[in-house]
Structure 1
Amino acid sequence: MTDVAKALLVDDRRENLLALEAILQGIAVQPVAVESGEAALKQLLLDDFAVILLDAQMPDMDGFETAGHIKRRERTRHVPIIFLTAADRDSHLAVRGYSVGAVDYLTKPLDPWVLRAKVSVFVDLWSKNRQLQLQAETVREREAQWASLTEAVDESLTILRDGAGDPSAVARAVHVLETARWGS
């Protein structure tokens, strides 16, 4: 797992990507900019992202098709997508965006403060989710340690019961407990 939240920026126009990177400055997110849907799908195989800012209208594979591929993949289906478009406020395009899994659909020119606020929310959610995953991992490790120690105690008790009166039984039982405790 990575420590830094990342935002995938997808737009076929380099100047739009530079503008998005500038808008996101100062937010605890690392922008990763790509210029096509195909490049976005490749990038999603390499990294995990807190949010995707996706241009709706691109040549070859448009944003809607790209989003469809993203949402069909198990690894990426839960990554929030915010569509960005220069198209007029055609409600059919917005509905199409939501129907392929977008969490929002913004038209250009973008209000940079609104976009920053939306990205910040998803970065915060990503960070909290990462903390929960780490805590769950810690709990699983402790449960495994507990199970190992419990097994060692049970084995030691059996050794002591079966070896009643045998001085070496105590030494064997202690060895089992020490081995379990130190993981040797």
Structure 2
Amino acid sequence: MSDRAKILLVDDREENLIALEAILSSLDLVPVRARSGEEALKALLNTEFALILLDVRMPGMDGFETASHIKRRERTRNIPIIFLTVVDSAPDYAFRSYAAGAVDYLTKPFDPWVLRAKVAVFVELYNMNRRLTEQASMLRDRLAGELSPGDAADQAAVLPELSRRLAAVEDEFIRVGELARKTGDPSLTGALADLSHRLDHLRAGLDALS
């Protein structure tokens, strides 16, 4: 897996997009701009994103409507969304954000460190999920017997290699979990629990084969 994670930045104001890119510039990711909800939905058709930073107040299709479309699509419904809006927004914006499926809600001007830390953890979780998907595919191939009985050398090599890769992800998960606890961000709880379940499931399958 060599592709860097992509983050979709959705805001109708150019200066806000530039500011977001500057805040995230130190992270190992690729920011992708969208100037409207419609542009965001088009970008989501052909590109896989680790996270969406979505402005609430935009002309035409606002952030809530955009999020509603995203969550209705099978391909995009599980992409985490963090809503961004100005501090003087209506008092029900936070409730509406979570009701629309957002994992978090930040008001502008926000602390750049807080946003960067949140994005960094979501990107780490996304990358770990991709690695787990690859390793689960290897395990399924092994269970399906794609390695014939005569391929003894290959059979002897694939399980230790898979175990080594899984151990590396487990170590990284511990590190990311500690980072998440330091940020004190409750929005990460669900993503961490889901990844922990996937790790346990894959480890159990590997142990059964070993």
Please give the range of the TM-score, normalised by the shorter of the 2 chains: 0.7 to 0.9
Partner in structure 1 of residue 24 of structure 2: 24
Separation in 2 of the partners of 1:5 and 1:134? 15
Which runs of at least 4 in structure 1 moved beyond 3 Å after TM superposition? none
Separation in 2 of the partners of 1:127 and 1:148? 28
5+ residue gaps, structure 2:
155-210
Once the two structures are TM-superposed, the CA of residue 147 in structure 1 deviates from its matched residue by 5.5
- TM-score, normalised to structure 1, is 0.77
Separation in 1 of the partners of 2:146 and 2:84? 51
3-state SS of the aligned residue for 2:54?
strand
Letter in 2 for 1:82: I
Alignment of 1:17-166 (within 5 A): 17-88=17-88, 90-144=90-144, 146=145, 149=148
Separation in 2 of the partners of 1:50 and 1:71? 14
- TM-score, normalised to structure 2, is 0.68
Separation in 2 of the partners of 1:137 and 1:36? 37
Once the two structures are TM-superposed, the CA of residue 43 in structure 1 deviates from its matched residue by 0.3
- CA change 1:92–1:43 in 2 (3 A) is same
Partner in structure 1 of residue 10 of structure 2: 10
Query: Which deviates more, 134-143 or 91-100?
Result: 134-143
Separation in 1 of the partners of 2:119 and 2:146? 42
- CA change 1:25–1:147 in 2 (3 A) is closer
5+ residue gaps, structure 1:
151-176
Aligned pair count?
Answer: 152
Which structure has the larger Rg over C-alpha atoms? 1
Separation in 2 of the partners of 1:103 and 1:147? 40
Letter in 1 for 2:122: F
Once the two structures are TM-superposed, the CA of residue 149 in structure 1 deviates from its matched residue by 2.5
State the superposition RMSD in angstroms: 1.8
Separation in 1 of the partners of 2:37 and 2:89? 22
3-state SS of the aligned residue for 2:141?
helix
Letter in 2 for 1:83: F
